[in-house]
Structure 1
Amino acid sequence: MALSLQAFHTFSLPSQCSQLCEITDLTQLQLLTFDSPFCILGEGSNTVFLSDYQGTVIKMATTGVVIVERDNDYLLEVAAGENWHQLVAYTLKKGMPGLENLALIPGTVGAAPVQNIGAYGVELAKFIEYVEYFDIATKQLIRLSCQQCEFGYRESIFKHQLKNKAVITCVALALPKLWQPELSYGPLQQLESVTAQTVFEQVIKTRNSKLPDPYILANAGSFFKNPIIENQLLSELLVAYPQLPHYYYDEHHHKVAAGWLIEQAGLKGYRIAGIEVHQQQALVLVNHGGSEGSDLIKMIQHIQQQIWQRYQISLQHEVRLMNNDTECHIGLGELA
């Protein structure tokens, strides 16, 4: 029997799946056959189903947090189904700061390492001690160190070598007792009283002012990655666009703000069917309803084409897109 997926992904396009399996105990994973196709899902805040999914959606809903105090830090072993923002708030309440810059990022703890979530100058990889996953082939639990996870900007081994081979079950975070604030980004630079709590509150305030609540207005958060470009291109762009926000990435590259590029291209408020470039934050696409996956594809391609023509920058979507049986990637003028 087909089941609606509209309530299981925050972009809320009309779609269905053949089977939905909610995992509340890891022993359930042993019983699954993992016949292709299947899709691992947390809270669906970074996944969009473009069409009906001809397979099984496996929703991770395990819970639990174990805290181990060590000499120099706290080790948190967190089940995959825990809500990320609730974990951040919990750590501050317990006097274990460090994650405050990552407040209000939607989704589950298990989904967080897949794309190495990050915000306001901090990436999750900074705190990862290990990630535990269920190996689909051997049905064993395996732990990878932070280095073995091969983290990069919105990247990890789980998007590449371990894609469709692993189900993340636990994430272990090491929070140093010696707290050092990260205040390099935007509104955090103006904070008068710097504590983990004030950083936490400012991040929430800033995100709420820019990002619509997906449970009020359907969206999948930041839709596009901030492009990493060569220094030569950046130098050329700064002549024409001196206000372009840019951040050091490595000696040969800088990261530039995708939202700024989209806004300066005049795309705020641009609409195809019920899908719109958000009026307050151009990095976000919202779904007013009455839309299909094909409308979203047209919107993505239109934005990519405009950004390429204006800046010679290839914009990549950050959100995971699912078609009828697999994840897909939308590039300039094509669906791959």
Structure 2
Amino acid sequence: MLSFHPTLPIVVIVVGVLALGLCVWQLVTARGRRLAWIRRSLLVLLAVAMAFRPALPGGEVPTASIQARVFVMVDTSQSVAAEDWGTDPRLTGMQDDIVEIARSFAGADISVISFDSQASLRVPLTDDGSAVIEMVRALKPEIAQQSRGTSISIAHDLLLTELERSEAEDPSSPAIVFYLGDGEHTAEDEPQSFSDVAGHVDRGLVLGYGTEQGGRMRISSFDPAEQEQYLQDPAGGDAISRIDEGRLRGVADQLGITYLHRAPGLPIEDALGPMAALDGEADLNQTEEARLEVAWILGIPIALLLAAEGFSLARSLRTTRGILPKEAGR
């Protein structure tokens, strides 16, 4: 069932009613332009609906009062598609663990950084756990054709920037870093050390995914037909991705935090609970609904209606320019 969480609801309602009233009045009086005003009425209704942030239920997150800055770094390179998380891709395990991190640190400010051949700030620091969960569930491996090799430290600069910026704004809150990856380093240059970041990190975990036997990787592609195929090794046969725990332990040592290998069926809550309890209390028995926002879907018809308005305006301007010279010559 849809739920709504409007921003500035009174303003939205007042502006929406006034705008819709104007459209209806013009619809009645401007008989020659009814189609245009029907279009504008729909535009107002869709904009108001979008402002009310419709959402579907997305599970539950606990209520809490944890004061911390939590930074989640997650590998999204092609290798996280390796099917050695049981029979599922590694990314499935990463997504489940990040959801548990969001639950355990509910109320804290959480940021998500993804890294493959480049680093991206997916979620700036926010205390909206449902936004983190929504984004993480939508994560996909990097498109294989776009990959230029992955460095396990490519997110170093972005992480350091975010840590320093947030520390300047909120120096009293501890910084907790979670690094989720398989340790595969395919870039030509050696990875940059995280040692200079360690001074800004209070605690955290490096979480490793994958097995020594490794797994095949379905191709991440824009082409649905290719998505059913497995990535091929240039030497022949299916390419196999294996965890590199040595590099992951190195990242943990540089950051001054603990390394933990992850596998299906191993709960992570036992490691997260004591860590979160140092900064507040998360009551997992008292929860609030997490929301999967679908307001973006309304942006599609809004964009189409705005395009129609632009086309109509351009046509009106051309007509006006054609009439004005004739009137001027009378």
Report if TM-score (shorter chain) is over 0.5: no
Q: Which has the bigger relative contact order, CA under 8 A and spacing at least 6?
A: 2
Structure having the higher strand fraction is 1
State the TM-score, normalizing by the size of structure 2.
0.26
Structure having the higher helix fraction is 2
